[in-house]
Structure 1
Amino acid sequence: MSTIFQHLILNVDDDEGSRYAKTKIFERAGYRVLEAATGADTLRLVQEQQPHLVLLDIGLPDISGIEICRLIKKNPATEHMMVLQVSASCVRPHERAMGLDGGADVYLSEPVEAEELIGAAKALLRLYDREQESRVLLKELTERERFIKSLVDAAPSTVYLYDLREQRNLYTNARSGATLGYAADELQFVGRETLQSWIHPDDRPLVMGQLAQLPDQADGQVLEFECRVQHRSKEWRWFLCRNVVFSRDAAGQPWQILGTALDITDRKERDAVLRRGKELQSLLLEISRVILEMPVDRAAWTRAIYEKVAPHLDLDLCLNFLVDQKTKGLQLLVGLGVPDALAWKAERLDPAQAFCGSVLERGTSVVADAEVIATDPRGQFVREIGGKAYACHPLKANSGEILGTLSFGTSRRERFTEEEIGFFQTLCHLVALAWERHSVSSALGESEMRLKAIVESALDGIITINDQGTIHSVNPAVGRLFGYPSDALLGRHIAMLMPSSYSTEESGQRSNESVVKGLNREMLGVRKDQSSFPVELAISENHLDDAVTYTLLLRDITERKKVQEQARQWTTELEQRVSERTEELLQSRTRLRALASELTLIEQRERQRLATELHDYLAQLLVFGRMKLSQARRGNLGPATTLVKELDDMLDEALTYTRSLVAQLSPPVLREFGLVVAIKWLAEQMRRHEMTVTVQCEADLAPVREDQAVLIFQSARELLINVSKHARTPRASISVWIENGMLHLCVGDEGVGFDQASTTNIAAPMFGLFSIRERMEALGGRMVIESAPGCGTKITLVVPYAMALVETDSHRTEQEWPASGSSEASVVPATTALAASPMSESVHSSRTRVLLVDDHAMLRQGVRTVLEGYPDIEVVGEANNGEQALLLAQSLQPKICIMDINMPGMDGIEATRRLKIEQPETLVIGLSVHNDWQIEEAMRNAGAVSFLPKDAAIEQLHETIQIALRSTARTA
């Protein structure tokens, strides 16, 4: 009864009464019952409730019961449910057959008795329970099969099942792909002939004999053997095979074999390597014994070694070369296996054309197989004697010195194994040790003889004593120093050679175990006649076996003491003289440095004077000349046109050269705008040297004192020129900053750099750096050089920061300007009349009033002549400096002011700035011989509307005035 209550029945009938009756029947029988009246409800409840049995009426209003049954059995999630179909209308045989074909498990015709309905339901539910049990069992079996398959596939061995009747393989696990190179499905139907072809021919009798024993094997008894099987790659691999009888036929004969095959190739190879290693190790021990027992003969050692090694390693060639200590070449010691016809070649072998030469040059082994020997030019001799595998190793001493080479070869194999190569290297190390031991022994005997000769012939006395002070040995020099025969000192105490005070001290030191060793010290020695003399004593301690001895080295220093005393006197006198000369040199250097600094400033002042002269006179004359030529070219010159053009070009070239010369002598930007702007101008000038210079300056850097600025600027220019000449780089950088009251200027590049040690030689090309260093030190500063070959250069100039004093003469306040009518203002008479007469101003109001400002009358005259040629221009006045320009501008009220930049007193930039403050309606056009952008930018910042070079004023001035007027009109 416990299982009845687990069953759930779905009662489907569209007739409510019939459905109610059936539900009651099943509930009285102890089942749980669900109800549905339509096909849709039936399909929904089947999915949601999973009933065990569906009691299904055929005649439903929406879906036929046969179709519902087909849908239930078609769905994998519900196909396991039992369906009991009932119908009162479809009772004919073909209709019943149709219901069963639709998937019904039982088909009943109504009316049906309750007992029959319950009986059919119980039968179906019993069948349902058995099917569920079968499903669970099938699932367990499937999981178990999967587990076993996973276990077998994970096994390190190949697992197979072979059918003896069909003579083919039935199963192979996945491991076969790794061990044999074949996939499991490729091995599934492999037959006997194929399997036998895979077994090594030498192992087939063993395998067949083992398999023949299977009928006699008991169930579970393992038959084990080893054999070689061919991998898919044609490689022979060793396998350990274990087989048992898996099944027998009715007669008890083996039917199927279950076996495993474990790949033991690596294990076999390791075993072979171990056996080979033990064999080679025993061979090394035997060779060591032979070398130790044989007399010292290097050639005999090599022959004995070859006789021992050749049978084990299948060798037929051995070459042993010595290094000739004079020529550092190779000399043949032993050549075994070389044909007589080629023996001369071995003796005259060129190291540069042989493997042994490479070993001598590099100090490392050379191992060549058949392919290398056949293709490498160094293998020519080995090829000629028939070698196929060759190994040459250096014979190195512990110091790393190469004593010779030892080579082995064979014509029976194409290469040596790694174990054999390692054996050769160990063997050669053993031979090198034996050679070195022989050399050391010979050298030791020679050393003893030389040492004895040195001791006997030494001029210094050598004494050995024990820890009690007893003399063991003395050399002949001791007898000469102290006047005793050498034999008379043996066995005596060392105190006999010292004054009593020294001997007492030595005794005390021995008792306190504090004998001074190793350091030279001076003492007195006592001769046989009791006279004393100064000696220098050095004591060393020696440990021989368990005994302690001391070696005393004594030297007579009587003459040295006399020389030292004389030298001491001379040293005192020399130190006094050196001190006096040093003080004089320091004073002289200080005066020379001050003189050099003054000369540098004088040079810079002279440069500035020359630049001023060139600017104020030559440049102005050239500009004036171009102006006159421009006026002449306006007329019809006829045949003289070409001549005037050539003359104008010459004047232009001369003006350009003059500007360049002025900039080189004393850059105007340095005088007008200070160090920072001059540095930026210098960076642009370096483009002529195909260099790009980046500049970084502190924005709030105050003006630097003129003398300091000139020296720093000149030094920076020299450093940049050095970069362009020597650094081999098109880029450089300049940085200027203030730190701790010091002005820093750094010039850096990423070029080739230089060795700073070379800067100490003032005769070298680095004399410029020396000169700059001297300038900096004269200013109380320093020069720091950071450079190394290949790492670029960075040179930093550090000087005390000295700010420039404010020049009030050229920057006076508004209250300080002279009043109108001052004697400082000068106006041409005609202009003065115009300015004084309001009527004149109204009459000429249609013309543009222009004020000319230039400190050169000749330039003013030239510009005036040009402008007066235009009917719309009226020149109302002229001024020769900034102060006069401000005075005339107040009285004449010009529309345009043509302003020169460089003028005495107040320059054009400051005059423009003040004029734009007092009379903002006046338009200023700047003129200058120099056309540097810094000057133009400063002029525009002061308020000028335009800027022109003076040589361009003739052709462009009138047009520039018109443009300025039009621009002002549009703005208004």
Structure 2
Amino acid sequence: MATILIVDDKPINRRLLVTLLPRKHYRTLEAADGAEALALLRRDAVDLVICDILMPTMDGYELVRELRRDPATARIPVIFYTAKYERWEAERLEQLGGVVRHLTKGVDPEEILLAVEKALHDATTRPYPLPAEAYDREHLRLLMDKLAQHVDELEVANAQLRAEVREREMAEAALRDSEARLREVTITLEAQVAARTAESNARAAQLGALTLELLHAEESERRRVAQVMHDSLQQRLAAAKLRLDIARSRISDTALLQHIRQAGELIDESMEEARSLTSQLSPLVLYNLGLAAALAWLGQQMQEQHGLAVKVQAAPDANPSSEETAVLLFHAVRELLFNVVKHAEVPEARVILEGIHGAVRVTVEDQGKGFDPAATATLDVSKRGFGLFSIRERLEAIGGQFTVESAPGRGTCVYLVAPEAAIAAPPTPPLTLHPEPVPVSEGGLHAIRVLLADDHPVVRSGLVALLHDYPDIEVIGEAIDGVMALNMARQLKPDVVLMDVTMPRMNGIDATRLIVSELPNVRVIGLSMHGNEQMAASMRRAGAVAYLHKGGSPDALVAAIHDAVAQAAPSP
């Protein structure tokens, strides 16, 4: 197998020959100039050299001269493969220097193969003669001609460059004029943009104020409607249920009892629907017990209604002092949990309430399917209610932050931060209160003395009518709020206080705490329209011995009164 050395400073030219020659089973070597080729020739046996003429460091003619001077390489035939010289110039130098063939770049590949085959076939065992002096003269003359040609070409290029410089100078002058005009336009535009920006900022501030006003108005209306339903509709339903139960205890007609039972069931259903609607509009547990308890209640609701197990981590005193902040965060968490139910496809989520640097932060996270937060910016916000966009808008309107960390398949973590909301425990009413006039009922000495505390007259009258049928129970007074209940308890020393939870001036939880603290022999029974465990637990922590629903069975209420007294009685 013949070895052929290809010498060319252009890799693309070498690649053509390296691809072509192995078709005839030739082995190829490559060099980028004459000097590199000489180094290869000293290390490897070569049968033929194909080289370019004009190359850096050492051109083709210098390479031929060095080959002929070295006995070890003097016998190697050389083919010039170039496009730089005219053919007659190259052929004259070939005759003087012993180059066997000249090929013009771009020639047909078959002609290259034939030339290589002939050069290898005609290779002589005798060394080629050293180039004559005329070889050097011709080489020098050829280089000088090429140099002169390049000088002429350079002069033409310089003339073109000067013309281009003049054109560029004219263009630069025109550009400077344009830049001056552009600066004037820019200054004008910047002034307009500044004015528009100031106007936009003012409108954004107005929008933020309107957003806060809208949030406040919306929540006020929600709370008003919920309060009306709680204070009027639910209380009247509870009183009606009490009256029905009283009537049922006094009637023996079976048909009439059946109608009373059916009416009671309808009242129970109506009370449940009213209670559910009230909670959806504005959960009273949020206002009575704070955000921490409201979030725990919300977790139970999500479990019962949607099958989503929500783990709530919140200290009982981690409540924002601002009611508006608590309301905003509660609604935001509820919307986020709805999103978990609808989109996350997981059975559980976690809610964390904490205070950080004078602010409140709520974290809502799940390990569900996740989403691309950037994609939510393209959704139609008008169809999403209190959704992500609305939560962000409302939080930013009060200077808060809304951050979402999520990715498809990696769950979602949402951070809600409301600033300037100090963490504070619910205020404790003062222990020193002024006595108020107390309405007192006459009764026997041995009856269980009961004090009623409820701000709804229709409920109090119903309870009085119910307990009147029990000779061992005496209603000794009625209080319309927590303050009045505390003063009456101090004055009357009742055996049992039936305590409503939601009342003006002082709620039932705080009143219970103070009564039990000052009067340990008085037993308090919580009585409320609220059926949630948070409210019941708060009453029990305050000291209540029982917690009953107003729409519950009268027998259960009477039994609770008897049990409370039995617990207080000394052991025999």
Give 1:762 deviation, angstroms. Answer: 5.1
Partner of 1:788: 407
C-alpha distance in 2, partners of 1:491/1:861?
116
In the alignment, structure 1 residue 798 sits paired with structure 2 residue 417: yes
Count the aligned residue pairs: 435
The alignment's C-alpha RMSD in Å is: 3.3
Equivalent position to 1:827, from 421, 436, 439: 439
C-alpha distance in 1, partners of 2:358/2:149?
75
Partner of 1:858: 458
Partner of 1:708: 325
Query: Cα deviations across residues 922-951 of structure 1 (Å, max 9, x unaligned)?
Result: 221110011111111111122211111011
Equivalent position to 2:373, from 756, 766, 787: 756
CA contact (8 A) 1:852 1:878 kept: yes
Query: Cα deviations across residues 650-670 of structure 1 (Å, max 9, x unaligned)?
Result: 111110111111111221221
In the alignment, structure 1 residue 736 sits paired with structure 2 residue 353: yes
Unpaired runs of at least 5, structure 1 = 1-284, 294-436, 442-467, 474-488, 500-523, 527-531, 537-555, 835-839
C-alpha distance in 2, partners of 1:917/1:897?
14
In the alignment, structure 1 residue 534 sits paired with structure 2 residue 171: no
Give 1:706 deviation, angstroms. Answer: 1.1
Partner of 1:658: 274
Partner of 2:392: 773
Residues 794/865 of structure 1: CA separation in 2 closer, same or farther (3 Å cut): same
Query: Cα deviations across residues 357-407 of structure 1 (Å, max 9, x unaligned)?
Result: xxxxxxxxxxxxxxxxxxxxxxxxxxxxxxxxxxxxxxxxxxxxxxxxxxx
Equivalent position to 1:895, from 474, 495, 500: 495
Give 1:491 deviation, angstroms. Answer: 5.7
Unpaired runs of at least 5, structure 2 = 1-18, 28-107, 113-145
CA contact (8 A) 2:319 2:326 kept: no
C-alpha distance in 2, partners of 1:578/1:734?
44
C-alpha distance in 1, partners of 2:501/2:455?
10
C-alpha distance in 1, partners of 2:147/2:218?
81
Residues 941/573 of structure 1: CA separation in 2 closer, same or farther (3 Å cut): same
CA contact (8 A) 1:594 1:778 kept: yes
CA contact (8 A) 2:208 2:398 kept: no
* Equivalent residue runs for 1:259-298 within 5 Å: 288-290=22-24
In the alignment, structure 1 residue 875 sits paired with structure 2 residue 475: yes
**What letter matches 2:388 in structure 1?**
L
Residues 755/609 of structure 1: CA separation in 2 closer, same or farther (3 Å cut): same
Greater shift, 602-611 or 762-771, is seen at 762-771
Partner of 1:47: none
C-alpha distance in 2, partners of 1:608/1:926?
23
CA contact (8 A) 2:344 2:411 kept: yes
Give 1:702 deviation, angstroms. Answer: 5.4
CA contact (8 A) 1:703 1:803 kept: yes
C-alpha distance in 2, partners of 1:582/1:864?
67
Give 1:557 deviation, angstroms. Answer: 7.9
Partner of 2:446: 846
C-alpha distance in 2, partners of 1:895/1:698?
34
Query: Cα deviations across residues 567-599 of structure 1 (Å, max 9, x unaligned)?
Result: 554444333322221221122112101210221
Residues 971/608 of structure 1: CA separation in 2 closer, same or farther (3 Å cut): farther
Q: Percentage identity across aligned positions?
A: 36
C-alpha distance in 2, partners of 1:472/1:686?
88
CA contact (8 A) 1:675 1:704 kept: no
Residues 864/698 of structure 1: CA separation in 2 closer, same or farther (3 Å cut): closer
Give 1:691 deviation, angstroms. Answer: 0.2
CA contact (8 A) 1:786 1:795 kept: yes
C-alpha distance in 2, partners of 1:470/1:745?
83
Equivalent position to 1:909, from 485, 495, 509: 509
Partner of 1:590: 205
**What letter matches 2:484 in structure 1?**
Q
Partner of 1:577: 192
Equivalent position to 2:431, from 788, 791, 813: 813
C-alpha distance in 2, partners of 1:491/1:897?
113
Give 1:847 deviation, angstroms. Answer: 1.7
C-alpha distance in 1, partners of 2:364/2:325?
17
Residues 766/869 of structure 1: CA separation in 2 closer, same or farther (3 Å cut): closer
CA contact (8 A) 2:229 2:278 kept: yes
* Equivalent residue runs for 1:353-502 within 5 Å: 490=153, 492=155, 494-497=157-160
CA contact (8 A) 2:540 2:546 kept: yes
C-alpha distance in 1, partners of 2:543/2:177?
90
Partner of 2:289: 673
In the alignment, structure 1 residue 719 sits paired with structure 2 residue 336: yes
**Counterpart secondary structure, 1:633:** helix
Equivalent position to 1:616, from 197, 213, 231: 231
Partner of 1:161: none
Query: Cα deviations across residues 634-681 of structure 1 (Å, max 9, x unaligned)?
Result: 212443333322221111111011111111122122111111111111
C-alpha distance in 2, partners of 1:613/1:720?
28
C-alpha distance in 2, partners of 1:655/1:916?
31
Give 1:525 deviation, angstroms. Answer: 3.9
**Counterpart secondary structure, 1:948:** strand
Give 1:905 deviation, angstroms. Answer: 0.8
C-alpha distance in 2, partners of 1:721/1:470?
86
CA contact (8 A) 1:630 1:955 kept: no
Partner of 2:552: 952
In the alignment, structure 1 residue 938 sits paired with structure 2 residue 538: yes
C-alpha distance in 2, partners of 1:793/1:702?
24
Residues 582/472 of structure 1: CA separation in 2 closer, same or farther (3 Å cut): farther
CA contact (8 A) 2:483 2:506 kept: yes
**Counterpart secondary structure, 1:657:** helix
TM-score by length of 2: 0.69
CA contact (8 A) 2:496 2:524 kept: yes
Give 1:719 deviation, angstroms. Answer: 0.8
Greater helix share, structure number: 2
Give 1:752 deviation, angstroms. Answer: 0.8
Greater strand share, structure number: 1
In the alignment, structure 1 residue 627 sits paired with structure 2 residue 246: no
Give 1:565 deviation, angstroms. Answer: 6.0
Query: Cα deviations across residues 18-39 of structure 1 (Å, max 9, x unaligned)?
Result: xxxxxxxxxxxxxxxxxxxxxx
**What letter matches 1:812 in structure 2?**
P
Partner of 1:502: none
The structure with the larger Rg is 1
**What letter matches 2:536 in structure 1?**
E
**Counterpart secondary structure, 1:492:** helix
CA contact (8 A) 1:705 1:805 kept: no
**What letter matches 1:618 in structure 2?**
L
Greater shift, 767-776 or 847-856, is seen at 767-776
Query: Cα deviations across residues 843-885 of structure 1 (Å, max 9, x unaligned)?
Result: x223212111111111111011111101211222211112222
TM-score by length of 1: 0.42
CA contact (8 A) 1:705 1:804 kept: no
Give 1:697 deviation, angstroms. Answer: 2.3
Give 1:289 deviation, angstroms. Answer: 4.5
